[in-house]
Amino acid sequence: MELININDVSLSFGDEEILNDISLTVRDEDKIGIIGVNGAGKTTLFRLIMGELECTSGNIIRRKNLNIGYVPQRVEYHSQRTAYEDALETFSDLIHLEERLNELNEQMIASSTMESVEAYNRTQERFVNEGGLTYRSLTRSMLLGLGLSENELDIQIEKLSGGQRTRVLIAKILLSKPDILLLDEPTNHLDIEALEWLEKYLSDYRGSILVISHDRYFLDNFVNKIFEISFTRGELYNGNYTKYAQLKEERDEFLRRDYAKKEREVQRIEAMIEQQKRWNTERSFITARHKEKMADRIRKTMVKPSEKEKSIRISFSEDRKSGNDVLRITGVSKKFGDTVLFRNAGFEIKRNDRAFILGRNGTGKTTLLRMILGEVEDFEGEIFIGTNVDIGYYAQGQENLPMNDTIIEAVYKNTDETQLGKIRNILALFLFTDDEVEKKVSSLSGGEKARVALAILMLSGCNLLLLDEPTNHLDMATREILENALLRYDGTILAVSHDRYFIRKLATKVIELDRDGTDIYPVDYDQYLFDKSKKTVDEAPVQKKKSDAGEEYRRAKEAEAEIRKRKNRFAKLEELIQNTEDKINILTKELENPEISSDYGKLMDTNSRIEALTTQLQEYYTEWEDLAELL
């Protein structure tokens, strides 16, 4: 069934054309990735679909009573409720039903009548059928899956960060189960575990999805179509991102060859026309007119290959080589007040390593980078920086950029380069030309600030690059250019990233950071995933925090016992849930028995038993879902 028809839609603001003749049909269970460079009009397309903007020409037809869930890229909303309470509000109808059940129960206690009992039974049946027994645990499970911690569930929305608020909003939209989801860069604030959780959820989602994303790994894992917006026009490709890249290359190559072939044919016909005209006979003029019509027909079939989007050019180099031992972290612990961020972290970085620190949000990855830089000094343990190591740092939010300076001033002040002409040439490589270099840094978009930060890093000549989420705010083309530049770089890289495509292309070492320290995998990302998934009692990790064999064996046995215990409990819970539901159904049917419904004592006793079982069932479901997350 067709949900949305976008028919030849164009949009202009004054003389600026944003979209031109865009057409797209969204059907049931379509999962479409919307891609394009920054500023291509992707978010604008979403705003047109939502009705926030009106198209200049064309139309958008939505199915009647279509329920659309929209998560914008930047979330700004306020609430005095906690994250859990705010997400729970999605089930306001069930909350009202629950309140009504309590009212009816009190009425029956005060004065039981056949009418009140029937009203209670009807309400309870509706409550159970609509998910009343599980909506609270589902809400909690959704928030935890998207990366909020147990403590953050009880924090007021007002006190949460922008990324945390985005996760709450995503949870609310997913819980509402709309017919179609519009997600604008939903992965920006998610760590890898939350990304994997979201991918699985979206893969199983029964509705339709339109998602704007630069995350190629994410798009590979669940979309079945790619809609690319380029130079104001749109093109639809069947398949995930990898299939799109293949089809696009084949299409562009076909168009290049077809255009060149037809151009040669038109030129040949035009030469014949000129020759016929020089002969200056009646027959030659007839032939010339015939050939002109032939050339016109060919021109109408000619599709000019799309121009290449302007792209930045990056080349990192080191002014001098470092020693072989670049960095050594030994027994490093960090806490804020009484809260331990991580403890006993340790790893080594050798020259030419491309190491990535992975871990859930809030584990201290950025803090660890700042400790290496010397910006955070209050910690336990030792950080050793090797001989001739020159560090260049790329901050996640570009907060180290001088916001009150112009672009050219920012580069001049933060590098050793003194020739303004050379700085202008470098900035031109990053698409800042002419008067654009005089823009204030504070006025730039996230992607533009990222390009300024990369330009500074490129001029630094450092031999150790500390990169904190370097692909955030970069479109796909720029991400690929950055990847290739870092592959050519002769220095050493220590990076924090949740961009799995980026990690997969570059990593030679993976460092897992959590509250208890670090696990080191001196392998690429694919091998890391394999080693991690195949880790068993008899198959130790590549390198562990503790080397003591006895301690390793004890921990392995404890882990094995814990997994076995969880599996047994999981199976037992499924049995308990089924038995409890059966008991509730039996007692609910007993309420219809006149012997019970006419006996106030028996009626209250049965209701009490149903309530107790319902509470117990909810607890079983909560525990079951918690265990399901761990198995």
Q: What does the alpha-carbon distance between residue 17 and residue 340 come to, in Å, rounded to a whole number?
A: 53
Percent share of the chain, pLDDT over 70: 91
**540 pLDDT above the threshold of 80:** no
Secondary structure element (H or E) that encloses residue 8, with its range: strand 2-13
pLDDT band at 300 (very low <50, low <70, confident <90, very high): confident
Closest CA relative to residue 191, chosen from 471, 603, 497, 582: 497
Q: What does the alpha-carbon distance between residue 409 and residue 422 come to, in Å, rounded to a whole number?
A: 13
Q: What does the alpha-carbon distance between residue 138 and residue 574 come to, in Å, rounded to a whole number?
A: 17
* pTM, rounded to two decimals: 0.74
Q: What does the alpha-carbon distance between residue 64 and residue 3 come to, in Å, rounded to a whole number?
A: 9
Place of tokens 């525990």: 623
pLDDT digits (tens, 9 = 90+) for 89-106: 999 999 999 899 888 888
Q: Which residues pair with 60 in a beta bridge?
A: 6
> Six-digit token pair at 583?
């008991």
Per residue in 342-352, is it b (16+ CB within 10 Å) or e — as a string? bbebbbbbbbb
Residues 618, 136 contacting (CB under 8 angstroms): yes
Q: What does the alpha-carbon distance between residue 631 and residue 628 come to, in Å, rounded to a whole number?
A: 5
pLDDT digits (tens, 9 = 90+) for 168-190: 999 999 999 999 999 999 988 78
What average pLDDT score do residues 22-35 get?
A: 94
What one-character-per-residue DSSP string does 452-501 give? HHHHHHHHH--SEEEEESTTTT--HHHHHHHHHHHHH--SEEEEE---HH
Please give the backbone phi and psi of residue 399, each rounded to the nearest 5 degrees, phi first. -70, -15
Closest CA relative to residue 525, chosen from 364, 366, 356: 356
pLDDT digits (tens, 9 = 90+) for 313-370: 888 899 999 999 999 999 999 988 888 899 999 999 999 999 999 998 888 999 999 9
- Interhelix angle 476-488/446-460, rounded to 10 degrees, is 10
What one-character-per-residue DSSP string does 168-199 give? HHHHHHHHH--SEEEEESTTTT--HHHHHHHH
pLDDT of residue 349: 96
Amino acid at 431: L
What average pLDDT score do residues 61-88 get?
A: 89
- The secondary structure of residue 508, as a DSSP letter, is S
- C-alpha dist (Å) from residue 146 to 21, 82, 92, 199: 37, 16, 21, 11
Q: Which residues pair with 467 in a beta bridge?
A: 394, 495
Q: What's the whole-number average pLDDT of the chain?
A: 86
Secondary structure element (H or E) that encloses residue 279, with its range: helix 241-279
**26 pLDDT above the threshold of 70:** yes
* Domain limits, the chain: 45-243, 325-533, 555-630
Outline where DSSP puts E strands in 14-161: 16-27, 31-35, 57-62, 68-71
Percent share of the chain, pLDDT over 90: 44
What average pLDDT score do residues 400-426 get?
A: 88
What one-character-per-residue DSSP string does 201-230 give? HHHH-SSEEEEE---HHHHHHH-SEEEEEE
pLDDT of residue 625: 66
Q: What does the alpha-carbon distance between residue 116 and residue 174 come to, in Å, rounded to a whole number?
A: 36
Q: What does the alpha-carbon distance between residue 172 and residue 341 come to, in Å, rounded to a whole number?
A: 29
Q: Residue 497: CA atoms inside 13 Å, Cβ hemisphere, count?
A: 29
Q: Which residues pair with 62 in a beta bridge?
A: 4
Query: CATH second-level architecture of 325-533?
Result: 3-Layer(aba) Sandwich (3.40)
Q: What does the alpha-carbon distance between residue 543 and residue 539 come to, in Å, rounded to a whole number?
A: 11
Q: Which of 193-202, 304-313, 555-564 has the largest mean confidence?
A: 193-202
pLDDT of residue 111: 77
pLDDT of residue 557: 55
In terms of DSSP bridges, do strands 391-394 and 464-468 run parallel, antiparallel, or are they unpaired? Answer: parallel
Q: What does the alpha-carbon distance between residue 509 and residue 578 come to, in Å, rounded to a whole number?
A: 47
**61 pLDDT above the threshold of 50:** yes
What average pLDDT score do residues 206-232 get?
A: 93
Other CB atoms within 10 A of residue 559 CB = 13
pLDDT band at 547 (very low <50, low <70, confident <90, very high): very low
Domains 45-243 and 325-533 share a fold: yes
Residues 165, 75 contacting (CB under 8 angstroms): yes
* Domain 45-243: CATH superfamily, name plus number: P-loop containing nucleotide triphosphate hydrolases (3.40.50.300)
Amino acid at 395: A
- Residue 96, classified by CB atoms within 10 Å of its CB into exposed (0-12), middle (13-18) or buried (19+), is exposed
Q: What does the alpha-carbon distance between residue 145 and residue 149 come to, in Å, rounded to a whole number?
A: 9
Q: Which residues pair with 210 in a beta bridge?
A: 32, 182
pLDDT of residue 596: 65
Q: Is 399 helix (H, G, I), strand (E, B) or coil?
A: coil
- The secondary structure of residue 75, as a DSSP letter, is -
pLDDT of residue 628: 67
What one-character-per-residue DSSP string does 353-379 give? -EEEEE--TTSSHHHHHHHHHTS----
Residues 566, 631 contacting (CB under 8 angstroms): yes
What average pLDDT score do residues 108-128 get?
A: 83
pLDDT band at 550 (very low <50, low <70, confident <90, very high): very low
Q: Residue 329: CA atoms inside 13 Å, Cβ hemisphere, count?
A: 27
Place of tokens 């007839």: 286
Q: Strands of 31-35's sheet, edge to edge?
A: 68-71, 180-184, 208-212, 31-35, 225-230, 233-238
Q: How far is CA 66 from the centre of its chain?
A: 25
Residues 94, 127 contacting (CB under 8 angstroms): yes
Closest CA relative to residue 110, chosen from 600, 448, 610, 560: 600
**549 pLDDT above the threshold of 50:** no
Residues 186, 215 contacting (CB under 8 angstroms): no
